[in-house]
Amino acid sequence: MAEITKSEVLNAFKKIEDKNLNVNLLTLNSIKTVETKVNDFVVNVVLPVPPAAVTDELKNKFVDILKSNFGRLEKVKVNIETKVTSHKDEKKERLLPGVKNTIAVASGKGGVGKSTVAVNLAVALARDGAKVGLIDADIYGPSIPLMLGINEKPKVYQNPKSAKMLPLENFGIKLMSIGFLVDDGTPVIWRGPMASGAVKQFMTDVEWEELDYLVFDMPPGTGDIQLTLVQTIPLTGAIIVTTPQEVSLIDARKGLKMFNRVNVPVLGIVENMSFFIAPDTGKQYDIFGTGGGENLAKELEVPFLGGIPINSKIRIGGDQGIPMAFDNPDSDYAKTMQEVARKVATEINLRNLNDTNVEIILGDE
Ligand SMILES: Nc1ncnc2c1ncn2[C@@H]1O[C@H](COP(=O)(O)OP(=O)(O)OP(=O)(O)O)[C@@H](O)[C@H]1O
Ligand SMILES: [Mg+2]
């Protein structure tokens, strides 16, 4: 029997339609080995998605497509492993050697829900099986320790060569906050170099170990300090959070320009406080207007990652230190955050593969 080649298998796989797998992510590199023995057929695949994206439904699609394309086979087995791709960047390798990707959650305007999105994005990525860290880089008001119910300080761990801080952990994510460096209630006037110095310390002096994603909750605005920070952090990409009203959208545009200036790709726009559903009547109210974030994404030619409603449970979860994406995973809100997280993961993977992979157009083996 003629051997079946990797590229034939890849061509078959490209026809798979699934909400969790963007077929553009499938490259010849994904297919590790193809073994054909008489009537048995085994394919080993490594998909660049978080583990939870590989559902039984998806596994069956792989088997079915092989059966329908190579009908003469009796036994078909597909082994699927997952591996999040890594952003190749020299500065990142130096500052954060075990961290595959870094994401800034930013906004132009304050109070639009950056920290809420950053926390819930991190939790949603972790729920999908990714290893996730979160750095609260908001020098104006670090709020993540409160939002994750953490009130201890990080421990310092002394190894023979140097002292390293151990990140705190809750809800499956690791955390460092600028809040750990200052006393509660004491206002600190940060200057750009101080702020970037503190954030640099979080990258080099913290024992992050291996992470698929390190999320940075940024301070609001697009001034000097923010610019210094985005130049200090080796960023894979940024997410911009906005509310639907014009004042917020204007500032979101400025945010996008800031990232463009320093060549950091904008992975997409999240619209927060998109609408309110009255719990008693179920009626939808567009408190801050409607469609602003989506229109902005179109105008700026970046992906629209999702719209999050106003819900008092989101605020209460934040105040009580229990993120909604963790506490109430079946809520529409948590589902939206999960979709946002998967879109972010896909955007990052696509960029990483585009950066490194040209094999998709090559021949066999
Ligand atoms: N979708 C939402 N529904 C209800 N409350 C929300 C929602 N998003 C955020 N909030 C609440 O709004 C407040 C501001 O949100 P958050 O702290 O996340 O904004 P921020 O952009 O990080 O603010 P800052 O610019 O001050 O850092 C918080 O009390 C939060 O719980
Ligand atoms: Mg914040």
CA proximity to 29, closest of 7, 51, 14, 12: 7
Q: Which of 42, 62, 83 is the last residue of a domain?
A: 83
Closest ligand (CA of 121): 1
Q: How many domains does the chain have?
A: 2
Q: Does one domain contain both 134 and 36?
A: no
Q: Does one domain contain both 30 and 170?
A: no
Q: Does one domain contain both 125 and 191?
A: yes
**Sign of the torsion angle spanned by Cα atoms 347, 349, 352, 357:** negative
Q: Does one domain contain both 176 and 322?
A: yes
Q: Which of 58, 83, 108 is the last residue of a domain?
A: 83
Within-domain flag for 360: no
Size of the chain in residues: 365
Per DSSP, the residues of 154-197 read PPEEE-SS-EEEPPEEETTEEEEEGGGGS-TT------HHHHHH
Q: Does one domain contain both 317 and 346?
A: yes
Within-domain flag for 206: yes
Place of tokens 């994005």: 121
Q: Does one domain contain both 163 and 219?
A: yes
Find the 57 Cα to ligand 1 centroid distance in Å: 36
Is the CB–ligand 1 distance for residue 61 below 6 Å?
A: no
Expressed as residue numbers, the domain containing 68 is 6-83
pLDDT at 287: 78
Closest ligand (CA of 111): 1
pLDDT at 152: 85
pTM of structure:
0.90
Q: Does one domain contain both 170 and 284?
A: yes
Q: What is the pLDDT along the chain (365 residues), one digit of tens a residue?
A: 567 889 999 999 999 998 878 888 888 888 999 888 777 889 999 998 888 888 899 999 999 998 888 876 678 899 999 999 999 999 999 999 999 999 999 998 888 999 999 999 999 999 999 999 999 998 887 889 889 998 888 888 887 777 889 999 999 999 998 888 776 666 667 777 888 888 999 999 999 999 999 999 999 988 888 999 999 999 999 999 999 888 888 888 999 999 999 999 999 999 998 888 888 888 888 877 778 889 999 999 999 999 998 888 888 888 888 988 888 888 888 899 999 999 999 999 989 987 764 444 433 44
Which CATH number characterizes residue 35's domain?
Answer: 3.30.300.130
Which CATH number characterizes residue 306's domain?
Answer: 3.40.50.300
Q: Does one domain contain both 28 and 99?
A: no
Q: Does one domain contain both 178 and 56?
A: no
Read off the DSSP letter of residue 358: -
Q: Does one domain contain both 152 and 224?
A: yes
Is the CB–ligand 1 distance for residue 143 below 6 Å?
A: yes
Is the CB–ligand 1 distance for residue 220 below 6 Å?
A: yes
The CA distance from 145 to 207, in Å, is: 18
In this structure, the strands spanning 237-242 and 99-106 are parallel
Q: Does one domain contain both 41 and 190?
A: no
Please report the atom of ligand 1 found closest to the CA of residue 272.
Answer: 1
Within-domain flag for 313: yes
Within-domain flag for 269: yes
Please report the atom of ligand 1 found closest to the CA of residue 107.
Answer: 21
Nearest CA to ligand 1 atom 26: 111
Find the 136 Cα to ligand 1 centroid distance in Å: 14
38 three-class SS = coil
Closest ligand (CA of 117): 1
Is the CB–ligand 1 distance for residue 141 below 6 Å?
A: yes
pLDDT at 72: 67
pLDDT at 114: 95
Is the CB–ligand 1 distance for residue 318 below 6 Å?
A: yes
Q: Does one domain contain both 47 and 133?
A: no
Q: Which of 57, 83, 109 is the last residue of a domain?
A: 83
The residue to mutate among 134, 315, 328, having the most atoms of ligand 1 within 8 angstroms of its beta carbon, is 315
- Expressed in angstroms, the distance from the first to the final Cα of the chain is 18
Within-domain flag for 56: yes
Within-domain flag for 322: yes
